[in-house]
Structure 1
Amino acid sequence: MDLKNNRSTTPFIGIIMLDTVFPRIKGDIGNPATFDFPVKYKIVKGASPERVVLQADKSLLQPFVAAGRSLIRDGAFALATSCGFLALFHRELTQALDVPIYSSSLLQVHFAQSIIKKGQKTGIITARKRSLTRDHLAAVGIEHYPLTIVGMEEAEEFTSVFIQGKSTLDADKCRQEMKETALALKASNPDLGAIVLECTNMPPYTQTVHRATGGLPVFDVVTMVNYAHSAGMAVSQDYSVCNNLDNSGKGV
Protein backbone atom coordinates (compact mmCIF):
# COMPACT_ATOMS: atom_id res chain seq x y z
CA MET A 1 0.00 0.00 0.00
CA ASP A 2 1.27 3.45 -0.84
CA LEU A 3 1.18 6.41 1.45
CA LYS A 4 -0.77 9.57 0.83
CA ASN A 5 1.24 12.58 -0.26
CA ASN A 6 0.69 14.56 2.93
CA ARG A 7 3.30 14.34 5.66
CA SER A 8 2.10 12.55 8.77
CA THR A 9 2.04 14.45 12.06
CA THR A 10 2.08 11.16 13.99
CA PRO A 11 5.54 9.60 14.40
CA PHE A 12 5.78 6.26 12.60
CA ILE A 13 8.20 3.64 11.37
CA GLY A 14 8.30 3.20 7.61
CA ILE A 15 8.50 -0.33 6.25
CA ILE A 16 9.83 -0.95 2.75
CA MET A 17 7.96 -3.92 1.34
CA LEU A 18 8.68 -6.59 -1.23
CA ASP A 19 6.03 -7.07 -3.91
CA THR A 20 4.19 -10.20 -2.77
CA VAL A 21 0.74 -11.84 -2.89
CA PHE A 22 0.79 -14.16 0.13
CA PRO A 23 -1.31 -13.49 3.27
CA ARG A 24 0.15 -11.25 5.96
CA ILE A 25 -1.19 -12.75 9.18
CA LYS A 26 -0.75 -11.05 12.54
CA GLY A 27 2.88 -11.32 13.55
CA ASP A 28 4.08 -10.82 9.99
CA ILE A 29 5.84 -7.51 9.40
CA GLY A 30 3.33 -6.70 6.66
CA ASN A 31 0.35 -6.70 9.03
CA PRO A 32 0.02 -3.38 10.89
CA ALA A 33 -1.81 -5.16 13.73
CA THR A 34 1.54 -6.79 14.58
CA PHE A 35 2.69 -3.53 16.15
CA ASP A 36 1.42 -1.39 19.02
CA PHE A 37 2.49 1.80 17.26
CA PRO A 38 1.98 3.37 13.83
CA VAL A 39 3.74 1.87 10.82
CA LYS A 40 3.36 2.76 7.16
CA TYR A 41 4.27 0.75 4.11
CA LYS A 42 5.77 1.33 0.69
CA ILE A 43 5.86 -1.52 -1.82
CA VAL A 44 8.77 -1.74 -4.24
CA LYS A 45 7.05 -2.86 -7.41
CA GLY A 46 8.64 -5.89 -9.01
CA ALA A 47 10.77 -6.72 -5.96
CA SER A 48 9.67 -10.35 -5.70
CA PRO A 49 11.13 -12.90 -3.28
CA GLU A 50 12.66 -14.60 -6.32
CA ARG A 51 14.59 -11.47 -7.30
CA VAL A 52 15.63 -10.59 -3.76
CA VAL A 53 16.31 -14.02 -2.23
CA LEU A 54 17.19 -16.29 -5.14
CA GLN A 55 18.84 -13.80 -7.49
CA ALA A 56 20.22 -11.16 -5.07
CA ASP A 57 19.28 -8.67 -7.79
CA LYS A 58 21.38 -5.57 -7.12
CA SER A 59 19.39 -3.52 -9.64
CA LEU A 60 16.74 -3.29 -6.90
CA LEU A 61 18.94 -1.16 -4.65
CA GLN A 62 17.86 2.18 -6.10
CA PRO A 63 14.13 1.33 -6.01
CA PHE A 64 14.55 0.44 -2.34
CA VAL A 65 16.34 3.73 -1.71
CA ALA A 66 13.55 5.60 -3.49
CA ALA A 67 10.92 3.86 -1.38
CA GLY A 68 12.81 4.75 1.78
CA ARG A 69 13.08 8.39 0.78
CA SER A 70 9.36 8.49 0.04
CA LEU A 71 8.58 7.21 3.53
CA ILE A 72 10.99 9.72 5.08
CA ARG A 73 9.29 12.57 3.23
CA ASP A 74 6.02 11.41 4.72
CA GLY A 75 7.46 11.55 8.24
CA ALA A 76 9.12 8.20 9.03
CA PHE A 77 11.68 8.53 11.84
CA ALA A 78 13.14 5.06 11.15
CA LEU A 79 12.90 2.44 8.42
CA ALA A 80 12.71 -1.33 8.30
CA THR A 81 12.30 -3.76 5.42
CA SER A 82 10.19 -6.83 4.81
CA CYS A 83 13.05 -9.17 3.91
CA GLY A 84 16.07 -10.22 5.94
CA PHE A 85 18.06 -10.79 2.75
CA LEU A 86 18.19 -7.02 2.30
CA ALA A 87 21.10 -7.21 4.72
CA LEU A 88 23.04 -7.35 1.46
CA PHE A 89 22.20 -3.67 0.85
CA HIS A 90 22.60 -2.52 4.45
CA ARG A 91 25.67 -0.34 4.02
CA GLU A 92 24.33 1.33 0.89
CA LEU A 93 20.94 1.96 2.50
CA THR A 94 22.45 3.50 5.62
CA GLN A 95 24.50 5.89 3.50
CA ALA A 96 21.63 6.83 1.20
CA LEU A 97 18.88 7.35 3.78
CA ASP A 98 18.73 10.05 6.43
CA VAL A 99 17.07 8.08 9.23
CA PRO A 100 18.17 4.89 10.97
CA ILE A 101 17.64 1.85 8.73
CA TYR A 102 16.91 -1.55 10.25
CA SER A 103 17.42 -3.53 7.07
CA SER A 104 17.44 -7.07 8.45
CA SER A 105 16.78 -8.98 11.64
CA LEU A 106 20.33 -10.31 11.20
CA LEU A 107 21.48 -7.05 12.78
CA GLN A 108 20.45 -8.68 16.07
CA VAL A 109 23.09 -11.39 15.81
CA HIS A 110 25.55 -8.98 17.47
CA PHE A 111 23.23 -8.64 20.45
CA ALA A 112 22.32 -12.32 20.61
CA GLN A 113 25.95 -13.41 20.60
CA SER A 114 26.82 -10.91 23.33
CA ILE A 115 24.29 -12.26 25.85
CA ILE A 116 25.26 -15.93 25.71
CA LYS A 117 28.19 -17.82 27.18
CA LYS A 118 31.61 -18.04 25.65
CA GLY A 119 31.61 -21.22 23.61
CA GLN A 120 27.94 -20.94 22.73
CA LYS A 121 26.73 -19.90 19.32
CA THR A 122 23.79 -18.21 17.69
CA GLY A 123 21.58 -20.13 15.31
CA ILE A 124 19.98 -18.50 12.29
CA ILE A 125 16.82 -19.90 10.75
CA THR A 126 16.58 -18.52 7.24
CA ALA A 127 14.15 -18.86 4.38
CA ARG A 128 16.87 -20.36 2.19
CA LYS A 129 20.31 -21.33 3.47
CA ARG A 130 21.87 -21.57 0.02
CA SER A 131 20.99 -17.95 -0.67
CA LEU A 132 22.31 -16.53 2.60
CA THR A 133 25.90 -15.93 1.57
CA ARG A 134 28.99 -14.64 3.32
CA ASP A 135 28.35 -11.33 1.54
CA HIS A 136 25.00 -10.99 3.33
CA LEU A 137 26.63 -11.71 6.68
CA ALA A 138 29.57 -9.38 6.02
CA ALA A 139 27.26 -6.52 5.06
CA VAL A 140 25.96 -6.45 8.64
CA GLY A 141 29.29 -7.37 10.23
CA ILE A 142 28.50 -10.88 11.47
CA GLU A 143 30.59 -13.06 9.17
CA HIS A 144 33.12 -13.92 11.89
CA TYR A 145 30.65 -15.05 14.55
CA PRO A 146 30.33 -18.77 15.38
CA LEU A 147 26.99 -19.20 13.65
CA THR A 148 24.99 -22.24 12.68
CA ILE A 149 22.53 -21.65 9.85
CA VAL A 150 19.56 -23.76 8.81
CA GLY A 151 17.15 -23.10 5.97
CA MET A 152 13.52 -23.84 5.19
CA GLU A 153 14.20 -25.13 1.66
CA GLU A 154 12.69 -28.53 2.39
CA ALA A 155 9.62 -27.09 4.15
CA GLU A 156 6.91 -27.48 1.53
CA GLU A 157 4.34 -24.99 2.81
CA PHE A 158 6.83 -22.32 3.84
CA THR A 159 8.71 -22.42 0.55
CA SER A 160 5.66 -22.58 -1.69
CA VAL A 161 4.18 -19.48 -0.03
CA PHE A 162 7.09 -17.23 0.90
CA ILE A 163 9.54 -18.04 -1.88
CA GLN A 164 7.45 -19.36 -4.74
CA GLY A 165 4.55 -16.96 -4.20
CA LYS A 166 1.52 -19.12 -3.43
CA SER A 167 -1.40 -16.85 -2.51
CA THR A 168 -2.78 -18.98 0.33
CA LEU A 169 -1.18 -20.01 3.61
CA ASP A 170 -1.77 -23.00 5.86
CA ALA A 171 -0.47 -21.41 9.06
CA ASP A 172 -0.76 -24.61 11.09
CA LYS A 173 1.35 -26.53 8.59
CA CYS A 174 3.90 -23.72 8.48
CA ARG A 175 4.03 -23.67 12.27
CA GLN A 176 4.76 -27.40 12.31
CA GLU A 177 7.53 -26.94 9.74
CA MET A 178 9.09 -24.21 11.87
CA LYS A 179 8.87 -26.44 14.94
CA GLU A 180 10.56 -29.34 13.18
CA THR A 181 13.33 -27.07 11.91
CA ALA A 182 13.91 -25.63 15.39
CA LEU A 183 14.00 -29.08 16.98
CA ALA A 184 16.55 -30.28 14.43
CA LEU A 185 18.66 -27.16 14.96
CA LYS A 186 18.72 -27.67 18.71
CA ALA A 187 19.37 -31.42 18.48
CA SER A 188 22.39 -30.98 16.22
CA ASN A 189 23.84 -28.04 18.16
CA PRO A 190 24.02 -28.67 21.92
CA ASP A 191 26.05 -25.46 22.23
CA LEU A 192 23.21 -23.34 20.83
CA GLY A 193 22.61 -20.25 22.97
CA ALA A 194 20.21 -18.05 21.00
CA ILE A 195 18.30 -17.96 17.73
CA VAL A 196 17.71 -15.23 15.16
CA LEU A 197 14.92 -15.64 12.60
CA GLU A 198 16.08 -14.08 9.34
CA CYS A 199 12.75 -14.15 7.53
CA THR A 200 10.17 -11.46 8.29
CA ASN A 201 7.35 -13.97 7.75
CA MET A 202 8.55 -16.14 10.65
CA PRO A 203 7.49 -14.07 13.71
CA PRO A 204 4.00 -15.66 13.88
CA TYR A 205 5.91 -18.81 14.86
CA THR A 206 8.50 -17.30 17.21
CA GLN A 207 6.83 -18.70 20.33
CA THR A 208 6.79 -22.14 18.70
CA VAL A 209 10.54 -21.93 18.10
CA HIS A 210 11.11 -20.65 21.64
CA ARG A 211 9.24 -23.57 23.20
CA ALA A 212 10.73 -26.17 20.86
CA THR A 213 14.26 -25.15 21.83
CA GLY A 214 13.69 -25.27 25.57
CA GLY A 215 13.17 -21.56 26.06
CA LEU A 216 16.15 -20.16 24.17
CA PRO A 217 15.96 -16.43 23.43
CA VAL A 218 14.60 -15.89 19.92
CA PHE A 219 15.03 -12.64 18.01
CA ASP A 220 13.01 -11.74 14.94
CA VAL A 221 12.10 -8.70 12.88
CA VAL A 222 9.34 -7.76 15.33
CA THR A 223 11.73 -7.61 18.29
CA MET A 224 13.97 -5.42 16.14
CA VAL A 225 11.23 -3.04 15.01
CA ASN A 226 9.94 -2.79 18.58
CA TYR A 227 13.24 -1.55 19.89
CA ALA A 228 13.70 0.64 16.83
CA HIS A 229 10.48 2.33 17.86
CA SER A 230 11.61 2.62 21.49
CA ALA A 231 14.95 4.09 20.47
CA GLY A 232 13.41 6.58 18.07
CA MET A 233 10.66 7.71 20.38
CA ALA A 234 13.02 8.13 23.32
CA VAL A 235 14.35 11.26 21.64
CA SER A 236 10.97 12.94 21.82
CA GLN A 237 9.60 11.24 24.95
CA ASP A 238 8.17 13.78 27.38
CA TYR A 239 9.24 12.96 30.91
CA SER A 240 8.32 16.39 32.24
CA VAL A 241 5.50 14.89 34.29
CA CYS A 242 8.13 12.95 36.24
CA ASN A 243 9.60 16.21 37.44
CA ASN A 244 6.35 16.92 39.23
CA LEU A 245 6.30 13.67 41.24
CA ASP A 246 7.68 13.00 44.68
CA ASN A 247 9.50 9.79 45.54
CA SER A 248 6.21 7.96 46.09
CA GLY A 249 5.11 8.70 42.55
CA LYS A 250 2.49 11.18 43.74
CA GLY A 251 2.21 14.67 42.42
CA VAL A 252 3.86 17.49 44.33
Structure 2
Amino acid sequence: MKRVTGGKALYGASVGILMLDARFPRIPGDMGNAVTWPFPVHYRVVRSASPDRVVRQGAEGLLDAFVDAARGLVADGVDGITTNCGFLSLFQQELAEAVRVPVASSSLMQVAMVNRMLAPSRRAGVLTISGSTLTDAHLLAAGVPLDTPVGSTEGGAEFTRAILGNEPALDVELARQDNVAAALAMTRAHPDLGAIVLECTNMGPYAADIARATGLPVFSIVNFITWFQAALVPRRFDPPL
Protein backbone atom coordinates (compact mmCIF):
# COMPACT_ATOMS: atom_id res chain seq x y z
CA MET A 1 0.00 0.00 0.00
CA LYS A 2 1.22 3.53 -0.80
CA ARG A 3 2.48 5.50 2.20
CA VAL A 4 0.11 8.30 3.32
CA THR A 5 0.52 11.22 5.68
CA GLY A 6 -1.99 12.43 8.28
CA GLY A 7 -2.40 15.70 10.12
CA LYS A 8 -6.18 16.21 10.15
CA ALA A 9 -8.86 15.06 12.55
CA LEU A 10 -11.38 14.48 9.73
CA TYR A 11 -11.03 13.51 6.07
CA GLY A 12 -13.30 13.58 3.04
CA ALA A 13 -15.26 16.77 3.83
CA SER A 14 -13.40 19.66 2.23
CA VAL A 15 -16.13 22.28 2.80
CA GLY A 16 -16.93 23.50 6.30
CA ILE A 17 -20.29 25.25 6.78
CA LEU A 18 -20.96 27.71 9.61
CA MET A 19 -24.60 27.24 10.54
CA LEU A 20 -27.08 29.55 12.23
CA ASP A 21 -28.70 28.24 15.40
CA ALA A 22 -32.15 27.48 14.02
CA ARG A 23 -35.00 24.97 14.22
CA PHE A 24 -37.03 25.66 11.05
CA PRO A 25 -37.28 22.75 8.57
CA ARG A 26 -34.39 22.38 6.14
CA ILE A 27 -35.67 20.56 3.08
CA PRO A 28 -33.51 19.11 0.26
CA GLY A 29 -31.98 22.01 -1.64
CA ASP A 30 -31.50 23.98 1.57
CA MET A 31 -27.83 24.47 2.41
CA GLY A 32 -28.36 23.02 5.86
CA ASN A 33 -29.70 19.70 4.55
CA ALA A 34 -26.73 17.43 3.91
CA VAL A 35 -28.46 15.54 1.08
CA THR A 36 -28.32 18.78 -0.96
CA TRP A 37 -24.61 18.25 -1.60
CA PRO A 38 -23.04 15.79 -4.06
CA PHE A 39 -20.00 15.68 -1.76
CA PRO A 40 -19.49 15.40 2.03
CA VAL A 41 -19.62 18.63 4.06
CA HIS A 42 -18.78 19.37 7.68
CA TYR A 43 -21.21 21.50 9.71
CA ARG A 44 -20.69 23.59 12.84
CA VAL A 45 -23.58 25.43 14.52
CA VAL A 46 -22.80 28.88 15.91
CA ARG A 47 -24.89 28.92 19.08
CA SER A 48 -27.06 31.99 19.70
CA ALA A 49 -26.75 33.06 16.06
CA SER A 50 -30.50 32.99 15.40
CA PRO A 51 -31.94 33.93 11.99
CA ASP A 52 -33.48 37.08 13.44
CA ARG A 53 -30.25 38.15 15.13
CA VAL A 54 -28.17 37.66 11.99
CA VAL A 55 -30.62 38.99 9.37
CA ARG A 56 -32.61 41.64 11.20
CA GLN A 57 -30.08 42.72 13.85
CA GLY A 58 -26.95 42.81 11.69
CA ALA A 59 -25.28 39.88 13.48
CA GLU A 60 -24.30 42.31 16.23
CA GLY A 61 -21.94 40.80 18.78
CA LEU A 62 -21.49 37.54 16.87
CA LEU A 63 -18.19 38.07 15.03
CA ASP A 64 -16.03 36.37 17.66
CA ALA A 65 -18.33 33.35 17.77
CA PHE A 66 -18.16 32.94 13.99
CA VAL A 67 -14.38 33.34 13.96
CA ASP A 68 -14.00 30.74 16.71
CA ALA A 69 -16.29 28.33 14.86
CA ALA A 70 -14.39 28.84 11.59
CA ARG A 71 -11.11 28.14 13.32
CA GLY A 72 -12.64 25.01 14.80
CA LEU A 73 -13.67 23.76 11.37
CA VAL A 74 -10.16 24.34 10.03
CA ALA A 75 -8.70 22.53 13.03
CA ASP A 76 -10.99 19.61 12.22
CA GLY A 77 -9.54 19.47 8.72
CA VAL A 78 -11.73 21.38 6.23
CA ASP A 79 -10.10 23.10 3.26
CA GLY A 80 -12.58 25.96 2.83
CA ILE A 81 -15.24 27.80 4.83
CA THR A 82 -18.70 29.02 3.92
CA THR A 83 -21.76 30.12 5.90
CA ASN A 84 -25.45 29.44 5.64
CA CYS A 85 -26.64 33.05 5.50
CA GLY A 86 -25.99 35.59 2.77
CA PHE A 87 -26.12 38.39 5.35
CA LEU A 88 -22.83 37.11 6.77
CA SER A 89 -21.02 38.89 3.95
CA LEU A 90 -20.43 41.40 6.76
CA PHE A 91 -17.87 38.98 8.20
CA GLN A 92 -16.11 38.04 4.96
CA GLN A 93 -12.92 40.00 5.58
CA GLU A 94 -12.61 39.08 9.24
CA LEU A 95 -13.20 35.38 8.59
CA ALA A 96 -10.72 35.32 5.71
CA GLU A 97 -8.11 37.00 7.91
CA ALA A 98 -8.73 34.58 10.78
CA VAL A 99 -8.18 31.29 8.96
CA ARG A 100 -5.63 29.96 6.49
CA VAL A 101 -8.19 28.55 4.03
CA PRO A 102 -10.45 30.27 1.45
CA VAL A 103 -13.72 31.75 2.72
CA ALA A 104 -16.91 32.16 0.67
CA SER A 105 -19.19 33.79 3.21
CA SER A 106 -22.16 34.75 1.05
CA SER A 107 -24.00 33.91 -2.14
CA LEU A 108 -23.93 37.65 -2.83
CA MET A 109 -20.28 37.27 -3.82
CA GLN A 110 -21.51 35.83 -7.12
CA VAL A 111 -23.12 39.06 -8.30
CA ALA A 112 -19.95 40.69 -9.62
CA MET A 113 -19.00 37.56 -11.55
CA VAL A 114 -22.50 37.13 -12.97
CA ASN A 115 -22.52 40.75 -14.14
CA ARG A 116 -19.31 40.08 -16.07
CA MET A 117 -21.06 37.25 -17.90
CA LEU A 118 -23.91 39.44 -19.14
CA ALA A 119 -24.17 41.93 -21.97
CA PRO A 120 -23.50 45.54 -20.88
CA SER A 121 -27.22 46.28 -21.17
CA ARG A 122 -28.12 43.50 -18.71
CA ARG A 123 -27.39 43.01 -15.02
CA ALA A 124 -28.02 40.62 -12.15
CA GLY A 125 -30.70 41.17 -9.56
CA VAL A 126 -30.66 39.93 -5.97
CA LEU A 127 -33.57 38.07 -4.37
CA THR A 128 -33.36 38.27 -0.58
CA ILE A 129 -35.33 37.08 2.41
CA SER A 130 -35.26 40.56 3.96
CA GLY A 131 -35.01 43.55 1.67
CA SER A 132 -35.67 45.93 4.54
CA THR A 133 -32.46 44.91 6.37
CA LEU A 134 -30.15 44.16 3.43
CA THR A 135 -27.93 47.23 3.67
CA ASP A 136 -25.27 48.88 1.56
CA ALA A 137 -22.75 47.44 4.01
CA HIS A 138 -23.84 43.88 3.16
CA LEU A 139 -23.59 44.61 -0.55
CA LEU A 140 -20.23 46.38 -0.40
CA ALA A 141 -18.71 43.59 1.69
CA ALA A 142 -19.61 41.14 -1.10
CA GLY A 143 -18.56 43.41 -3.97
CA VAL A 144 -22.13 44.03 -5.14
CA PRO A 145 -22.84 47.31 -6.99
CA LEU A 146 -25.10 49.49 -4.87
CA ASP A 147 -27.52 50.10 -7.75
CA THR A 148 -28.24 46.36 -8.04
CA PRO A 149 -31.99 45.63 -8.18
CA VAL A 150 -33.22 43.86 -5.04
CA GLY A 151 -36.39 41.82 -4.67
CA SER A 152 -37.64 40.34 -1.42
CA THR A 153 -39.97 37.65 -0.13
CA GLU A 154 -40.93 39.87 2.82
CA GLY A 155 -44.38 40.58 1.43
CA GLY A 156 -45.24 36.90 1.08
CA ALA A 157 -47.34 34.67 3.27
CA GLU A 158 -44.86 32.04 4.42
CA PHE A 159 -41.16 32.03 3.51
CA THR A 160 -39.79 35.08 5.34
CA ARG A 161 -42.17 34.64 8.27
CA ALA A 162 -41.29 30.99 8.86
CA ILE A 163 -37.53 31.27 8.34
CA LEU A 164 -36.82 34.49 10.21
CA GLY A 165 -39.42 33.60 12.83
CA ASN A 166 -37.58 30.29 13.27
CA GLU A 167 -40.85 28.39 13.10
CA PRO A 168 -40.88 24.60 13.55
CA ALA A 169 -43.09 24.07 10.48
CA LEU A 170 -42.95 25.29 6.88
CA ASP A 171 -45.61 25.16 4.16
CA VAL A 172 -43.32 24.33 1.24
CA GLU A 173 -45.81 25.19 -1.47
CA LEU A 174 -46.56 28.61 0.01
CA ALA A 175 -42.82 29.23 0.40
CA ARG A 176 -42.36 28.30 -3.26
CA GLN A 177 -45.10 30.70 -4.28
CA ASP A 178 -43.51 33.50 -2.25
CA ASN A 179 -40.15 33.01 -3.96
CA VAL A 180 -41.58 32.84 -7.47
CA ALA A 181 -43.87 35.84 -6.93
CA ALA A 182 -41.01 37.96 -5.55
CA ALA A 183 -38.76 37.04 -8.47
CA LEU A 184 -41.46 37.86 -11.01
CA ALA A 185 -42.15 41.20 -9.33
CA MET A 186 -38.45 42.06 -9.53
CA THR A 187 -38.22 41.17 -13.22
CA ARG A 188 -41.30 43.26 -14.01
CA ALA A 189 -39.82 46.24 -12.15
CA HIS A 190 -36.41 45.79 -13.81
CA PRO A 191 -36.73 44.53 -17.40
CA ASP A 192 -32.96 44.80 -17.87
CA LEU A 193 -32.31 41.83 -15.59
CA GLY A 194 -30.24 39.09 -17.18
CA ALA A 195 -29.91 36.80 -14.15
CA ILE A 196 -31.00 36.38 -10.53
CA VAL A 197 -28.73 35.71 -7.56
CA LEU A 198 -30.42 34.20 -4.51
CA GLU A 199 -29.05 35.79 -1.34
CA CYS A 200 -30.75 33.38 1.02
CA THR A 201 -29.34 29.89 1.42
CA ASN A 202 -32.84 28.57 2.15
CA MET A 203 -33.98 29.55 -1.36
CA GLY A 204 -32.12 26.70 -3.07
CA PRO A 205 -35.17 24.39 -3.19
CA TYR A 206 -37.00 26.96 -5.32
CA ALA A 207 -34.24 27.91 -7.78
CA ALA A 208 -35.60 25.73 -10.57
CA ASP A 209 -39.11 27.14 -10.15
CA ILE A 210 -37.78 30.71 -10.23
CA ALA A 211 -35.77 30.00 -13.39
CA ARG A 212 -38.78 28.43 -15.06
CA ALA A 213 -41.08 31.30 -14.16
CA THR A 214 -38.71 34.13 -15.08
CA GLY A 215 -36.82 32.57 -17.97
CA LEU A 216 -33.56 33.74 -16.37
CA PRO A 217 -30.55 31.84 -15.04
CA VAL A 218 -30.63 31.60 -11.26
CA PHE A 219 -27.48 31.48 -9.14
CA SER A 220 -27.81 30.07 -5.63
CA ILE A 221 -25.50 29.12 -2.79
CA VAL A 222 -25.73 25.53 -4.04
CA ASN A 223 -24.06 26.21 -7.38
CA PHE A 224 -21.62 28.65 -5.73
CA ILE A 225 -20.33 26.16 -3.17
CA THR A 226 -20.34 23.31 -5.69
CA TRP A 227 -17.96 25.48 -7.74
CA PHE A 228 -15.99 26.34 -4.60
CA GLN A 229 -15.58 22.69 -3.61
CA ALA A 230 -14.41 21.76 -7.13
CA ALA A 231 -11.43 24.07 -6.62
CA LEU A 232 -10.66 22.70 -3.15
CA VAL A 233 -10.66 19.13 -4.47
CA PRO A 234 -10.04 19.25 -8.24
CA ARG A 235 -11.24 16.28 -10.21
CA ARG A 236 -8.49 13.88 -11.15
CA PHE A 237 -8.50 12.68 -14.76
CA ASP A 238 -6.96 9.36 -15.74
CA PRO A 239 -4.36 9.49 -18.52
CA PRO A 240 -5.49 8.17 -21.90
CA LEU A 241 -4.98 4.48 -22.46
Q: TM-score, normalised by structure 2?
A: 0.94
Deviation readout 1:123-181 (Å, 9 max, x if unpaired)? 1000111111001111122235x410011111121122111111101111111111111
Shift of 1:58: 3.0
Tell me the matched-pair count: 234
Alignment of 1:232-247 (within 5 A): 232-234=232-234, 237-239=235-237, 241-242=238-239, 245=240
Per the alignment, residue 224 of structure 2 pairs with 224
CA–CA separation in structure 2 for the residues paired with 1:117 and 1:156:
35
Per the alignment, residue 126 of structure 1 pairs with 128
Per the alignment, residue 78 of structure 1 pairs with 80
CA–CA separation in structure 2 for the residues paired with 1:137 and 1:88:
9
Contact 1:152 1:181 in 2 (8 A): yes
Contact 2:183 2:210 in 1 (8 A): yes
Q: Secondary structure at the match of 2:149?
A: strand
Per the alignment, residue 147 of structure 1 pairs with 148
Structure 1: give runs of 5+ residues left out of the alignment: 1-5, 246-250
Shift of 1:67: 0.7
Contact 2:123 2:193 in 1 (8 A): yes
Work out whether 1:175 is the aligned partner of 2:176: yes
Shift of 1:238: 3.8
RMSD after superposition: 1.2
Work out whether 1:193 is the aligned partner of 2:188: no
CA–CA separation in structure 1 for the residues paired with 2:213 and 2:236:
41
Contact 2:14 2:232 in 1 (8 A): no
Per the alignment, residue 3 of structure 2 pairs with none
Contact 1:134 1:143 in 2 (8 A): no
Q: Secondary structure at the match of 1:156?
A: coil
Deviation readout 1:54-80 (Å, 9 max, x if unpaired)? 111331011001111111111111111
Which 4+ residue blocks in structure 1 deviate beyond 4 angstroms? none
Q: Secondary structure at the match of 1:224?
A: helix
User: Partner amino acid for 2:198?
Assistant: L
Deviation readout 1:92-130 (Å, 9 max, x if unpaired)? 111112111110000000111011111212110001111
Q: Secondary structure at the match of 2:62?
A: helix
Work out whether 1:206 is the aligned partner of 2:195: no
CA–CA separation in structure 1 for the residues paired with 2:23 and 2:40:
23
Structure index of larger Rg = 1
**Among 64, 69, 79, which residue is 2:66 paired with?**
64
CA–CA separation in structure 1 for the residues paired with 2:105 and 2:16:
11
Contact 2:18 2:69 in 1 (8 A): yes
Per the alignment, residue 248 of structure 1 pairs with none
CA–CA separation in structure 1 for the residues paired with 2:105 and 2:182:
24
Q: Secondary structure at the match of 2:151?
A: strand
Contact 2:19 2:45 in 1 (8 A): yes
Q: Secondary structure at the match of 1:55?
A: coil
Q: Secondary structure at the match of 2:233?
A: helix
User: Partner amino acid for 2:76?
Assistant: D
Shift of 1:9: 2.3
CA–CA separation in structure 1 for the residues paired with 2:13 and 2:174:
37
CA–CA separation in structure 1 for the residues paired with 2:202 and 2:91:
19
Per the alignment, residue 157 of structure 2 pairs with 156
CA–CA separation in structure 2 for the residues paired with 1:44 and 1:92:
16
User: Partner amino acid for 2:120?
Assistant: K
Q: Secondary structure at the match of 1:92?
A: helix
Structure 2: give runs of 5+ residues left out of the alignment: 1-7
Q: Structure 1 vs Structure 2: percent identity of aligned residues?
A: 41
Shift of 1:220: 0.7
